[in-house]
Structure 1
Amino acid sequence: MNTSPYSYTLDSTSMSSAGHNASNMSNGNAAPASGKGAGGSKPSGPSPLACLTCRQKHLKCDGQQPVCGRCMSNQLFCEYTPSRRGYKGPSKKRRADPPPTDPSQMMSDPRLFALDGRNPEIPSNWNMPSSGAGPISTIPPAQTTPPEMAQTPAHPSGIQSQVVNARSPLTPDSSSTVGADGYLVDVYYSNFHAAHPILPPLHKLFRNSPPHYLEQVIKFIGAHFTTAASPETYRPYVVAEVVDQPPSPEKVQALLLLTIVLHSRNEREEAGSMLAQAMDLAYDIGLNRRSFAETVGEADPIREESLRRTWWELFVIEGMLTALGVRASFTANTIPLEVPLPCEERIYQDGGLFPLASPPTIAQFDDRVFADEDIDFSSFSYRIEAVRILGRVVSLSEMVTGQQELVESVDARIVSWFHHLPESKMELMLADGTVDEMMFQAKMIVNGASIYLHFPRSDLLSSPAVAAEVICGHSGLCLMPAFSHHSHAMKAVKAASEISNLAAIRMPETKHTPFFICALVLSSIVQLAAYSVKAGQVPDPRRDRLSLTVGVFRSLGKTWAISQSVNRQIRAVARDVLDIGVRPATDQNSLDFTAFLEGNQFWLSNAQVV
């Protein structure tokens, strides 16, 4: 028996039963069927009968029953609709024989090993292998039961039956390693994983049986990206279930993922609490130590890489939430950074051999500028460096004197970051048409750091856009400039425009990190401030960028609640600012913009700092 690295035990009875049936399916040992489709020679012409799955995909069907050849090979749900011509109702035998309710009988039906493709919101190829068994799928629910009606315990535990009745509602206690809501794992990996890639690749995830609570967090996040499930089904219990678990790296991962999704749901105080617990636990178990991944990884390079990525993702998220005012201090940036850097995404996701026997370190990354030989660093590494720069900017806001030299130094580091990007990292669009999400975030963070550095030292603070209470804002003082006020303003506006340009990349916005919403908020405030300070002198391109940003807020609002709130707030500020732009000059001059400022704060935050 394989020992799981996760402290998690599966129901051996249900898993062995599922593995036995899956083996029978893979060997073609389906129940014998009557008629020509079950065996014998293949008909020479097209089959007069086609299953619903092949019809829906407009594919040729061989008409074999009970499962056609295409559905058998792809493990899809196979169902035939009998002709209604001359139909006179059910026969006496069918009326007398009720459908099977015994799970063992249901397991013998090969159709129950495949996914019902009738719901377009559910992927048609979600196959998640369980321990020691081949891919198993189950029929998704026909409808979702409201949370208040679901007969679900507050903290479901253990593994439920591997097969759920086709008519059963989607409830937390019906989920399992391969449950009726298992397709949400695929949804998570298709829409969220690339933005925060800490978990093993999908084809590796279930090899070692992840703990149930981590699986529920994955499904909770995945439910935000599909109308076939509701995240509110999971929300009442998922946080408490994770918090109650004993210390482990998987608990850190679950807390970290909850931090991201709760912040995106506009539950910012709860997100701060999850992050605080994740950081404390990471320090307690030694996740920040170089040797941790090798010690706990059990010679599995994928697991070792996942553990390293978990630490660095904590580093990134704490840095961003500190800048956004949710976290009081960037603690991870105050300790020695000894964990090796993550590898390239394509290597990690493919699960192949890693190119270096020893992953590069932060020290090697810092020395790359003066090294004799060029070393290829991953996009994740440049993202980490971007957060380190952001951390230096945030620390400057706490200093009262002696800032000028430090401001100049950090500004030089921001510009240097762009100059030292290798050619392979300059273009975000990859050859296959996808976006390098890690470099996307790296550029987003560096430009955000530039805004935090220059905007409070600029002449753009005399604007009502500055004092508006907008989510993702951070409280900060109006700071003394290191350059001229105008120079700081130009650098801030340039960074804001670069963030807007990221929004113009043609790809689904939901595949980006939800923190992109916060970056767009910073960009919008700067551009609105520039528009209001020099009303009537601003060209249309800046207005077009604001229109693009509002459109992105609207699109992301379908997935993340924080974007809905931000969209309303930014549009309200934009209406006020644009109205200033069309007023007569005498009215503009009579406005006292500084009256809008509260205590010289240039951003306001409604979150409790933890």
Structure 2
Amino acid sequence: MSAEHPRVARSSLACLPCRSRHLKCDGKRPFCSRCSTSGKLCQYAKSRRGGLDRAALAARREAQLAQKSSAAPVSSLSSTNASSDTISVSCVLESPPLTVDLESLSSDAVLEASHGEEAFDIDQDWLQSSTLSPAALPSPPIDINGDALLEAYYSRFHAFHPCVLPKRDLERFSCHPEIRSRLAPVLAVIRMIGAVYTRSPDLNQLRDHLHDCLIKAKPDDPFIVQARLLYSVPLYWQGDKVSAQQQMDSAISIARQIGMFQKEFATDNGYGDPVLQESWRRTWWQLYVVDGFYAGTTKTTPFETKDIEATVELPCKESEYESGIIPPSKTLDGFDSREFAFEKNDFSSFAYLIGSVRCAALALDVVTKGLSRNSSPVIVDSADSIIEGYLLLLPEERKQVISKSGEVDELMFQAIMAINASVIGLHRPFSDLRFDPVESVSSCSTDPPSNTSSSELVNIHTVRSLQAIQSQVRLLALPVRPFCHTPFITCMISVGTLGLLSACKFLYKGRELAVARDRIRMAIGCLRAIGDIWPQTARNLQEIQTIARDVLGIGPKMTPEGVQQHGKANSPNLNHGMLDSTKPLADLTSGFTPWDTLEELEPDMCLWFNLGATDK
């Protein structure tokens, strides 16, 4: 080796975080430069050098063992629910993972293992000190590298509801001495959702493990809010709506109790880490968004978070969150007054999704009150102006839901789908897109207006409904395959498809009818893609198919008695009239081939890529 490039020996004074990640450490006290820059907790292991010799260490260990044998035994590691005093210290030591047994490891073994220039700077004194008793020792590190289920979650679900830590930061915090044990419920739900997408045979075991993690975790931990929020999603879309609501109610209750909706919460609970602070902000707003989605999907779930005066700041852009470079946060007040800003104020897609749900909440209030056609001007003057204001103030870059590289902005996709579903829900009751009684079969449909008197604004309502439907169709036709989005768009698609079916029956003729039938085909195909993962969407798809057969005159029509009897309580079966709600979920979805019925809807398929010229 040349003199210009002398060999640099690895320092034995490296801090524990740098050692765990095999990073170069300058050894500065009390905090090394790397930890100070990244905002991580910097800790050093006590050195054994200059301490007791082997004989003294052995004598002290004998005394400690005698004292321990006379005291009550410790049955487990409280922070990790381990079954013995054995701990893994691979996040602390610089070597490959090592298991240290406090009962059997001798002082000589510790000294021999630490022999040489690259010795571990850790000893019995550190392991057995009163401040690090077996019950208080750091929890075992969480091995998440190369986890196929975790990879599936981040590649196929995280972008839909991005509140948990980015993958890189999750790996970083899995070695944090104060946080890694608290991550157990979040990691459990991540792996369970990953198992859904990979169709893992271990799904039931993963669900049981998640339940154990939720039971053992500290009940007021903000990580529990993340875990229960995310857990409610697969529960609902796998058909267990009661349990999904329980998880959601618990998440909201904990978030309110710990003040997660307040601005100070993220800073007070973020350990000085900007990414973790951003994750807390995102958790509250994701809770708000999903709560709104449930309210819009079920039509019966109360939108509890809607009336909470949140002061928490808005989430940053997704690219900033993933990179870890978090800019100063923007406020909800700034978003609400963005039309008065002279300079360009670039809010994130997440912020516009929040704004979309807030607008949809007003639409939901109007629809659930069952306004009649005579109340049409009220909608135009109040709720509709808010929705139109949102759409008009949407920046051009946010309207471009797909990038030049073909990546979809999932949050803007949800925002625009939701706002258009709200427009349809607002205007269709007062339009010429009349309701067919068979629509009551759909769990996503709204009740028809009780008053059918004419309105001078009927054409406005009809045009706005059709425009919103076409906007949804353009999103569904984005050239990205496979079609994979959050299951919450199921009812958004269904609402637009029901309106399009009404247009086929009451408005369209000739070429317009053919184009609309092609759009219905595409919407059903999109529902099918989601239904391949989520059984509840598969049920909703069967509902839409049965309605379509009846409205378009394909096959036997449902009798009024059949519609009244089943209504929204059950889902229709294409072959036998109705689904048997007592059958297991697997029986309802096995052998399900939506395309068999889809081919009956329109034998002459037209390519969507030709629709642009047709619409002109």
| TM-score bucket (shorter structure) | 0.5 to 0.7
Once the two structures are TM-superposed, the CA of residue 253 in structure 1 deviates from its matched residue by 0.4
Provide the residue aligned with 1:15 in structure 2: 88
Change (3 A) 1:337 1:19: closer
Query: Structure 2 counterpart of 1:567, which letter?
Result: L
Contact in 1 for aligned 2:438/2:563 (Cα 8 Å):
no
Q: 2:397 aligns with which of 409, 419, 424?
A: 424
Is the counterpart of residue 200 in structure 1 residue 165 in structure 2?
yes
Cα distance in 2 between the residues matched to 1:412 and 1:509: 36
Q: Are the counterparts in 1 of residues 483 and 526 from structure 2 also a CA contact under 8 Å? A: no
Q: Report the structure number with the largest CA radius of gyration.
A: 2
1:567 is aligned, of 519, 536, 541, to 541
Partner residue of 1:360 out of 297, 309, 330: 330
CA distance in 1, matches of 2:212, 2:361: 31
Does residue 213 (structure 1) correspond to residue 185 (structure 2)? The answer is yes
Deviation at 1:188, TM superposition (A): 0.3
Which residue pairs with 2:365 in the alignment? 395
Counterpart-to-counterpart distance in 1, 2:508 and 2:289: 37
Equivalent of residue 370 in structure 1, options 314, 329, 340: 340
Q: Which moved more, 1:529-538 or 1:285-294?
A: 529-538
Percent of aligned positions with the same letter in both sequences? Answer: 29
Pair 1:17–1:592, CA change in 2 (3 A): closer
Deviations, residues 434-460 of structure 1 (Å, cap 9, x unaligned): 111111111011101111211233333
1:248 aligns with 2:218: no
1:184-583 → structure 2 map (5 Å cutoff): 184-208=149-173, 209=180, 210-236=182-208, 238-239=210-211, 241-242=213-214, 245=217, 246-325=219-298, 328-352=301-325, 354-356=326-328, 359-399=329-369, 403-404=375-376, 406-408=378-380, 409-467=382-440, 469-474=441-446, 478=450, 484-509=457-482, 511-534=484-507, 536=509, 538-579=512-553
CA 290–479 in structure 1, closer or farther in 2 if over 3 Å, else same = farther
> How big is each residue's C-alpha offset from its partner over 1:479-537, in whole Å with a ceiling of 9 and x where there is no partner?
78876334323322321222122111122456421112221111111111222234755
Q: How far apart are the structure 2 equivalents of 1:230 and 1:24?
A: 26
CA–CA distance in structure 2, aligned partners of residues 323 and 297 of structure 1: 32
- Deviation at 1:19? 6.8
Contact 1:318–1:332 (CA under 8 A) maintained in structure 2 = yes
Q: Answer whether contact 1:414 1:446 (CA < 8 A) is retained.
A: yes
335-344 or 412-421: bigger deviation: 412-421
Q: How far apart, CA to CA, are the structure 1 residues paired with 2:299 and 2:376?
A: 27
Q: How many angstroms apart in 1 are the aligned matches of 2:465 and 2:290?
A: 23
Question: Structure 2 CA distance, aligned partners of 1:189 and 1:390?
Answer: 28
Distance 1:541 1:400 in 2: 32
**Equivalent AA in structure 2 for residue 558 of structure 1:** D
Q: Residue 194 of structure 2 aligns to which amino acid in structure 1?
A: G
In structure 2, how many angstroms separate the alpha carbons of the residues matched to 1:399 and 1:446? Answer: 19
Query: Equivalents in 1 of 2:561, 2:80: separation in Å?
Result: 62
Offset of residue 252 of structure 1: 0.6
Q: 1:533 to 1:298 in 2, by over 3 A?
A: same
Change (3 A) 1:201 1:462: closer
TM alignment of 1:168-183, pairs within 5 A: 177-178=142-143, 182-183=147-148
> 1:189 deviation in Å?
0.4
Seen in structure 2, the aligned counterparts of structure 1 residues 22 and 593 have a Cα distance that, compared at 3 Å, is farther
Provide, for residues 161-208 of structure 1, a one-character-per-residue CA deviation record: whole Å limited to 9, x for no partner. Answer: 99xxxxxxxxxxxxx932799321111001100110001110001322
Give the AA of the match of 2:156: N
Work out whether residues 191 and 510 of structure 1, in 8 Å CA contact, stay in contact via their aligned partners in 2. no
The 1-side partners of 2:415 and 2:552 are apart by: 31
Query: Structure 2 vs 1, CA of residues 204 and 475 (structure 1 numbering), >3 Å: closer, same or farther?
Result: farther
Q: Once the 2 structures are TM-superposed, how far is the Cα of residue 596 of structure 1 from its aligned partner? A: 8.5
Partner SS, residue 338 of structure 1: coil
TM-score by length of 1: 0.66
Report 1 or 2 for greater relative contact order, CA contacts < 8 Å, sequence distance ≥ 6.
Answer: 1
Matches of 2:294 and 2:97 in 1, distance apart? Answer: 50
Tell me by how many angstroms 1:310 deviates: 0.5
Once residues 536 and 306 of structure 1 are traced to their aligned partners in structure 2, the CA distance between those partners, rounded to angstroms, is 51
Work out the number of aligned pairs and report it.
447
Aligned-pair CA distance for 1:554: 2.0
In structure 1, give the amino acid aligned to 2:240. Answer: E
Q: CA RMSD in A?
A: 3.7
CA–CA distance in 1 between the matches of 2:405 and 2:427? 37
In structure 1, what is the Cα distance between the partners aligned to 2:564 and 2:432?
A: 17
> How many angstroms apart in 2 are the aligned matches of 1:479 and 1:301?
54
Which of 423-432 and 285-294 deviates more?
Answer: 423-432
Report the TM-score, using the length of structure 2 for normalisation.
0.65
Q: 1:510 to 1:19 in 2, by over 3 A?
A: farther
Aligned CA distance change for structure 1 residues 596 and 366 (closer, same or farther; 3 Å): farther
Q: Is the 8 A contact 1:325 1:605 kept in 2?
A: no
Separation (CA, whole Å) in 2 of partners of 1:472 and 1:243: 34
Change beyond 3 A, Cα 1:592–1:511: closer
Q: Tell me how far 1:255 sits from its aligned partner.
A: 0.8
Structure-2 change in CA distance of 1:509 and 1:490 (3 Å): farther
Q: 1:7-66, CA deviations, whole angstroms, 9 ceiling, x for partnerless residues?
A: 9549795532577586599xxxxxxxxxxxxxxxxxxxxxxxxxxxxxxxxxxxxxxxxx
Partner residue in 2 for 1:95: none
C-alpha distance in structure 1 between counterparts of 2:41 and 2:257, whole Å? 22
TM-aligned CA distance change 1:22 to 1:191, over 3 Å: farther
Whether the 8 Å contact between 2:425 and 2:446 is mirrored in structure 1 is: no
Could you give the per-residue CA deviations for residues 77-123 of structure 1, whole angstroms, max 9, x where no partner exists? xxxxxxxxxxxxxxxxxxxxxxxxxxxxxxxxxxxxxxxxxxxxxxx
What SS does structure 1 have at the residue aligned with 2:401?
coil
Structure 1 gap ranges (5+): 26-158, 163-175, 584-590
Q: Which runs of 5+ in 2 are unaligned?
A: 1-15, 18-39, 43-77, 99-136, 174-179, 572-616
Shift, 1:233, TM fit: 3.4
| 377 and 461 in structure 1: CA distance in 2 versus 1, 3 angstrom threshold | same
Counterpart CA distance in 2 for 1:328 and 1:384 is 18
Per-residue deviation, 1:463: 1.6
Indicate the larger mover: 436-445 or 395-404: 395-404
Change (3 A) 1:604 1:450: farther
Secondary structure of the equivalent of 2:88?
helix
Partner secondary structure for residue 336 of structure 2:
helix
